[in-house]
Amino acid sequence: MADDTSNAAAYWKANVRTIFGCLIVWAFVSYGCAILFRPLLAGIPVGGTDLGFWFAQQGSILTFIALTFFYAWKMNQLDKKYDLGE
């Protein structure tokens, strides 16, 4: 029983670490690149506009979609590692 508890605690710790990492990436792209660092990124052209505008309009959305798929992939790996498959 104690082994199940420590296994569940390790699984939860890995899950929270993954969520925290995804949130850091999301916040950096959404707030950092699109708002805070926009003046620094204004000189880099991407698709007819500057990189800061691109992050604000599409980069944040595409990053969020990529993070969603990454999270699903990572959780499947954690499920297999901790023997918690469906």
Number of domains into which the chain is organized: 1
For residue 63, the enclosing domain spans: 2-81
Spell out where 1-42 has E strands: none
Q: What is the pTM of this model?
A: 0.79
pLDDT band at 86 (very low <50, low <70, confident <90, very high): low
For residue 46, which amino acid is it? V
**Inside any domain, residue 86:** no
Per-residue pLDDT tens digits for 1-17: 557 788 889 999 999 99
**Inside any domain, residue 11:** yes
Q: How far apart are the first and last CA of the chain?
A: 21
Per-residue pLDDT tens digits for 33-64: 778 888 888 888 888 888 888 877 788 888 99
